[in-house]
Structure 1
Amino acid sequence: MQVGNLQGGGGKLQTSLESLQESWGRVSDVWRDEQSRRFEEEHLRHVAEDVQAVLPAVSHMIQVLQLANRELSDV
């Protein structure tokens, strides 16, 4: 896998999460009942937590791949 593909994927993941949060903000202004609160708690909150947890790992993996690429190009 090329490092650029991983960087682009991490960026898309972050951008998609931001878009989801913005959309939910607009929807939650008008959808305010027990179902909306449960949907946010059971689904959206977990998505945001999972994305925030994986982004540092993606960043670390990019660094590892860049280092490996430099070392292999020196051979």
Structure 2
Amino acid sequence: MCQRNEALTERLRASEAEQTMLLDAITALVSFISADERYGRVNKAHEERVRAFAGDARTPVGGIGQPPTDLGTTRWRR
């Protein structure tokens, strides 16, 4: 059972890495906003834009965990 869990965990990690690679290859801003209206996942272009906009290297990666309105995204609508 332990070996099966390890194999599934490795497949999940590989799948997540592939998804990240594909999202980061897109030059458009891509983000996933969760049901509680917080950034869950963003691509590299989005991360760079948020950091440039915030002007602060301490800003969480692409605003993950923050609502769009906290990052000055005034066009955000439900």
Name the TM-score class by shorter chain: 0.3 to 0.5
Q: Which structure features the higher share of strand residues?
A: 2
Q: Which structure features the higher share of helix residues?
A: 1
Asked which structure has the greater RCO (Cα within 8 Å, sep 6+), the reply is 1
**TM-score when normalising by structure 1:** 0.41
In our comparison, the structure showing a higher alpha carbon Rg is 1
